[in-house]
Amino acid sequence: MKTTLLALSCLLLSNLAYSATDVTDKSISQPIKSALARLGLTPTEVNPSKIAGLLEVMTERGLFYISKDGQFLVHGKMYDLKNGVENVTEQSLAKVRVIDIKKFKDSMISFPAKNEKYKVTVLTDTSCGYCRKLHSQMQQYNDLGITVQYLAFPRSGTTGPTFKELSAIWCSANPQKSLTDAKNGTRIDVTKSPQCGAPIAEQYAFGMKVGVTGTPAIIFEDGAMIPGYQDPHQLLNALSEKD
């Protein structure tokens, strides 16, 4: 049992590269705060779940389920089998994505479609092969009416070279060109790049919170997320199915 708890603690604490904010929501009980604090987690919102006696708790490291007394913690997806197989966890995360993504509307790097039919937000990393492949097909996405707007998600966290490179790109005079150059293999000289306070750490934290584990991660306007690369026509088909 001790080994299991230790492993869970290590998993939750690994790559924790940002500080959690204090919680002022009085509805979050002290037993729950204390239980999660032992794992390095801070609850930001607590709601009833579809299972009696189990609460849905949102943290900076994702969504968990916890008993009201803080004794039992569940990390995983919840499905409602009454009407098909409904991913309850994903539905909750989708709502959070829709709300939180609005905070970054002025700090995205956007590649707009001339005749926009759909808009997706892609969490990206310049060191990711499939991110480069997606970006190399940007004109095809745009021609199909898909606007792509980027948020940064440095897979190595907020202390590695990719974080510095993404910060330099977001702070450059022409972020679109800088991002394209980086994805085409051009090295960005981070020592000469301006520091504009681009919210790269905040964008990374958003990804960690809403279930991003790799790049590219594609978020639809309704908050649904597809993890991994989709070619232009695959993505168009996935988007059209929601119409």
Q: What is the mean pLDDT of the chain?
A: 87
With H, G, I as helix, E, B as strand and everything else as coil, classify residue 116: coil
Q: Is the sign of the CA dihedral 94, 212, 28, 67 positive or negative?
A: positive
Q: Does the pLDDT of residue 7 top 60, yes or no?
A: no
Rg, the chain, Cα only: 19
Contact of 41 with 61, CB cutoff 8 Å = yes
Tell me the per-residue pLDDT of 218-229, one tens digit each, with 9 for 90 and over: 999 999 999 999
Is residue 22 very low, low, confident or very high in pLDDT (cuts 50, 70, 90)? very low
Residue keyed to tokens 């299991």: 4
Q: Tokens at residue 2, please? A: 């001790």
Query: What is the rounded CA–CA span in Å between residue 116 and residue 112?
Result: 7
Query: What is the rounded CA–CA span in Å between residue 138 and residue 176?
Result: 12
Q: Does the pLDDT of residue 15 top 60, yes or no?
A: no
User: Of the candidates 96, 108, 118, which has an alpha carbon nearest to the alpha carbon of residue 236?
Assistant: 118
Tell me the per-residue pLDDT of 140-175, one tens digit each, with 9 for 90 and over: 999 999 999 999 999 999 988 899 999 999 999 899
Q: Which residues make beta-bridge pairs with 62?
A: 59
Average pLDDT over residues 93-113: 96
Choices 3.20.20.80, 3.30.70.20, 3.40.30.10, 3.30.365.10: CATH for 102-240: 3.40.30.10
Catalytic center residues = 125, 128, 131, 155
Q: Does the pLDDT of residue 43 top 50, yes or no?
A: yes
Range(s) within the chain of domains with CATH label 3.40.30.10: 102-240
Q: Does the pLDDT of residue 20 top 60, yes or no?
A: no
Could you tell me the CA-to-CA distances from 110 to 12, 37, 151, 185 in Å, in that order? 32, 38, 9, 20
pLDDT of residue 192: 61
Q: What are the φ/ψ torsions at residue 151 (nearest 5 degrees)?
A: -120, 150
Range(s) within the chain of domains with CATH label 3.10.450.70: 2-76
Residue keyed to tokens 């609460």: 55
pLDDT of residue 190: 77
**What is the CATH topology of the domain spanning 2-76?**
Nuclear Transport Factor 2; Chain: A, (3.10.450)
Tell me the per-residue pLDDT of 173-192, one tens digit each, with 9 for 90 and over: 899 999 999 999 988 877 76
pLDDT of residue 6: 39
pLDDT of residue 18: 34
Tell me the per-residue pLDDT of 49-94, one tens digit each, with 9 for 90 and over: 999 989 999 999 999 999 999 999 999 999 999 878 999 999 999 9
Strand order in the sheet with 146-152: 109-111, 146-152, 118-124, 217-219, 225-227
Predicted TM-score (pTM) of the model is 0.84
Contact of 216 with 204, CB cutoff 8 Å = no
pLDDT of residue 193: 58
